[in-house]
Amino acid sequence: MKVVLKQDIKGTGKKDQMVEVSDGYARNFLFPRKLAVPADAANANDVKNKAEAKQFHLEQERAAAQKLADAVNEKGITIHAKAGTNGRLFGAVTAKDIAQAIKESYGVELDKRKIVLDADIKAYGCYPVSVKIYNGITAQVTVNVLE
DSSP 104-121: HHH-----GGGEE-SS-E
Supply the CATH classification number for the domain 71-146. Answer: 3.10.430.100
| Single pTM value for the model | 0.65
The full set of domain ranges for the chain reads 2-66, 71-146
Which phi and psi (to 5°) does residue 128 adopt? -80, 135
Confidence of residue 20 (pLDDT cuts 50, 70, 90): very high
Q: Which fold has domain 2-66?
A: Ribosomal Protein L9; domain 1 (3.40.5)
- The predicted pLDDT at position 84 comes to 78
| Cα 34–chain centre separation | 33
CA 89 → CA 61, 80, 93, distances in Å? 38, 10, 8
Confidence of residue 32 (pLDDT cuts 50, 70, 90): very high
